[in-house]
Structure 1
């Protein structure tokens, strides 16, 4: 992969702590880790809709109570919103129908998350899923290694539904460091036969407490080998927590990114990251 450019495109008022996004039909679907809404931002009209994912939905939920929706993925007409699993209150997965514009199912992934932790020898306090990709046959779930053990792990779950029988594989990764602190997964997206991921560095040994933001990387994992093809540092000051494909041409890939500033301000910045192909 060649050079990159990063540019601020616009701000969206009404969304705070953005943690995942999807681009579809000139709209952006966005989640925030302290909210129980799925947001839909129309790029042409610049209007924002919100759809409740839980009973008694709220925009700013206290840290101890929030469902911590960190991962957003889509297959066909269904969007899947996953909680991080970092506390017992964060084990929900919501299925949302993009045609009906409503929630169609709520799933409790506590048992699955417990199996994943045991399989990969991840302690509950180091378990923190922040990226998800589903291709109709396989789920790729990204554990953010921002706990004390720094376990950046990609789980490959072969199953059409997470409630069915499945096969499970896990791969661990040593991601690049900034100032001696290892970066950790924050999101991923599938492009052809590659998983493009974001990783960020926070000066904290906890999956729960926020720390000083030291920068972010983009990287690529080849699905055939499950090896990292490359990583590139894209910022020294920002924590990017969401990535989606905007355009994919013969010369470049354009991604849209969302930034989580770890504040209660209801304002989200959307960036465009362009990677040139060699």
Structure 2
């Protein structure tokens, strides 16, 4: 049975803090399918749909995985060789921490764009363009780009980037930073510039805008952005966020729950660069209505129309496995 969650959600534009009081309320229905555990895919953190097929990367796995609708592995492509532990995970000291993935067009073809988190200098500052047939691959240092993001995000001292999500919407790219060291931030870039950076044609982007995001707190810990996707018909970004009892971007903490929600694209066009999602985030709940203790890392939309999207969520619960859920999200 799908677990149905109904919450009040602020309408389009209301998520921008300055305008929240002037908007009507609508309801958002979330339905979750049963948990599906995949013990052969370690620490899934990025998820993309291509038709009915799903593609995933893990933060301590060297592979790009192709999955079917039952979340079984059908194929895998080695992104890069790394020293591995006995249980098949990349040694933590050198793991590239693949955390964000989306599909982009380059040279009139679809490519997977995979980004490291940037939470450890050099080691986690690598990105990849991988052709959909996996026969071509471009590796690119993200250090210059991440230096730009670091400065634009106002990071100081020991604060670290922790890039967790990537969404491509029309001519823009949105990069999500998880706020467990610096802040919850969304960086908006020109999509073409990001692709040109990845293929080595430029070393800096000229169009970069930063939005701060406020999310709900659980037990005193604010949720952190963990993934994003573009809902074409809804003209919105769909985001995921999760809560860990940790204050840095390197070490894991106790998992306290996860959220999902929407950010209309027009929220990124105004002068206000703060987006308040504290009353608009939908908590993932179990059948008893209690917080589902899972760390959702990414979302993929498989089908959509103006009222509803459906697809898959994936969680990395820090135990070397990956937990998948089918979902439906509907405007009521």
The TM-score, its normalising length taken from structure 2, stands at 0.77
Shift of 1:56: 4.8
Counterpart of 1:220 (choices 256, 262, 280) is 262
For 1:75, the equivalent position in structure 2 comes to: 104
For 2:214, the equivalent position in structure 1 comes to: 174
For 1:8, the equivalent position in structure 2 comes to: 34
Aligned-pair RMSD on alpha carbons?
Answer: 2.1
Instruction: Describe the SS at the equivalent of 1:171.
Output: strand
Matched, 1:239 2:282: no
Q: How far apart, in 1, do the equivalents of 2:71 and 2:134 lie?
A: 18
Provide closer, same or farther for how the CA distance between residues 130 and 47 of structure 1 changes in structure 2, counting only shifts above 3 A.
Answer: closer
The TM-score, its normalising length taken from structure 1, stands at 0.91
Residues 93-112 of structure 1 aligned to structure 2 (within 5 Å): 93-98=127-132, 100-112=133-145
Gaps of 5+ in 2: 1-26, 269-274, 286-290
Instruction: Describe the SS at the equivalent of 2:266.
Output: coil
Gaps of 5+ in 1: none
| Deviations 1:188-245 (CA, angstroms, capped at 9, x unpaired) | 0010221110111100111111000000011211111234573111142111001010
Provide closer, same or farther for how the CA distance between residues 115 and 255 of structure 1 changes in structure 2, counting only shifts above 3 A.
Answer: same
Instruction: Describe the SS at the equivalent of 1:8.
Output: coil
Provide closer, same or farther for how the CA distance between residues 46 and 272 of structure 1 changes in structure 2, counting only shifts above 3 A.
Answer: closer
Shift of 1:46: 4.3
Equivalent residue pairs, number: 273
Contact 2:36 2:71 (8 Å CA) reproduced? no
Larger Rg: 2
| Deviations 1:138-191 (CA, angstroms, capped at 9, x unpaired) | 2110010012x4x00000012414323431100001111112211010000010
Which structure has more helix as a fraction of its residues? 2
Larger mean Cα displacement after TM superposition, 29-38 or 224-233? 224-233
Shift of 1:3: 2.1
